[in-house]
Amino acid sequence: MNARILAVLAALPVLLPAVLPAQSPGQGASVQTPFRPPVGFEQEPVPPPIPADVTDDRRVARNYPEQPPVIPHNIRDYQLTLNNNQCLTCHSRQYTAGSQAPMISITHYVDRDGQTLGGVTPRRYFCLQCHVPQTVAQPPIRNDFRDVDSLISRPSDGGDRR
Amino acid sequence: MRLPGFLLRPWRIIATPARTLSLGFLTLGGFAAGVFFWGGFNTALEATNREAFCISCHEMNDNVYQELKQTIHFTNRSGVRATCPDCHVPHAWTDKIARKMQASKEVWGHLFGTIDTPDKFAAMRRELAEHEWARLKANNSLECRNCHSAESMDITRQGARAADIHQRFLFTGERTCIDCHKGIAHRLPDMQGVPPGWTVSEQK
């Protein structure tokens, strides 16, 4: 009697995985998510290659007026630390003559109390919180954002919103 | 002036002409000993010129070497690596000896723990960085130019900004590499009051 129970217990780890998938037929082990192709947990998908940076130095139009402009150049190894802000060595007011870079906007000199300071305000110090470089990666989800100009210039529907 | 007694005997031995050794032996033997000792000296010198020697002190290993490992001079697409002596020791022999003599102060610093904690290192960082900036400024960025030369630089393969800046400042000899490229292999110190290299002169 004891030997029979032991034998069943010993076989359990082998049998269980074979039984479990059979309980949910048709579902499979793949994860359904829009962010990744259907992949079983036991499979090891090959990641896509890292997309190249956009470094063509061409300014990109903003999609809406308040959008932080994106960075059209390489920023590898630019140090943005407590000690040094590499971005400001070109983009701050006093260096734009030598660098011919666009100056950071006046809003970056205004502190949270509305006082305009002589230099960049601490809350705007870490440029990469808002301004980011771009890559040539294709977004996995289609974006149908339209800017305000294309919205107000579309043909009128005459008030008929049905 | 008379030499003290214990020096007199060795001095007499050195000053007395050889009586039993032939001139040929002395000449050739001196030559062979010269090769041996000179080779030994240079081998020992080169042994101190390796990355492994530099980072055998924890000051170098824990601070500056860890920073170097994150930069493009350590890993890059073509697999070429600049190690510590490539940038910090001149390659020409005379300059190398001069630099090595200067570096004996670093032994002092190691023995007396000048920068043996991260806090001490951070406090001295600006001063140490300024030494290196001054050295590279004085020798026209010699160590950079051991690998990077303006002649072999193809600015059509550079970004528009880089090409423009190099034409305006590097090719005219108005500035040198270190003026703009500070902190390319290490974290920068507090840069308060250090103008960027492309500052136009009338603004200074």
Whether B187 and A81 lie within 8 Å, measured CB to CB: yes
**What gap in Å lies between CA B194 and CA B92, rounded to an integer?**
30
Top-level CATH class of A52-137?
A: mainly alpha
- H-helix or E-strand containing A6? helix A2-23
Contact B123/A at CB under 8 A: no
**What gap in Å lies between CA B129 and CA B53, rounded to an integer?**
21
Per cent of chain A over pLDDT 90 is: 41
Whether A98 and B199 lie within 8 Å, measured CB to CB: yes
| Domains, chain B, ordered by start | 26-190 (1.10.3820.10)
Whether A84 and B161 lie within 8 Å, measured CB to CB: no
Whether A77 and B203 lie within 8 Å, measured CB to CB: no
Q: What is the mean pLDDT of chain A?
A: 81
Per-residue pLDDT, averaged over B56-80, amounts to 91
**In degrees rounded to 5, what are phi and psi of residue A30?**
-80, 150
Name beta bridge partners: A135: A53
**Complex prediction ipTM:** 0.73
Count chain A–chain B contacts defined by CB atoms under 8 A: 44
Per-residue pLDDT, averaged over A124-149, amounts to 91
Specify the pTM: 0.75
Which pLDDT band holds residue A98 (cuts at 50, 70, 90)?
confident
pLDDT digits (tens, 9 = 90+) for A68-91: 999 999 898 899 999 999 999 999
- Whether pLDDT at A23 is above 50: no
Identify the CA nearest to B86 among candidates B132, B149, B150, B143.
Answer: B143
- Whether pLDDT at A7 is above 70: no
**In degrees rounded to 5, what are phi and psi of residue B55?**
-90, 10
CB nearest to A83's CB, from B164, B190, B203: B190
Q: B66, B185 in Cβ contact below 8 A?
A: no
Q: Which of B127, B199, B201, B204 to probe by mutation at the A interface, max A CB count within 10 Å?
A: B199
- Whether pLDDT at A6 is above 80: no
**What gap in Å lies between CA B188 and CA A81, rounded to an integer?**
9
Whether B198 and A76 lie within 8 Å, measured CB to CB: no
Q: What is the pLDDT of residue A70?
A: 95
Q: What is the pLDDT of residue A18?
A: 52
Per cent of chain B over pLDDT 90 is: 56
Q: What is the pLDDT of residue A41?
A: 79
Which pLDDT band holds residue A126 (cuts at 50, 70, 90)?
very high
CB nearest to A84's CB, from B160, B184, B188: B188
pLDDT digits (tens, 9 = 90+) for B120-179: 999 999 999 999 999 999 999 999 998 999 899 999 988 888 898 899 889 999 999 999
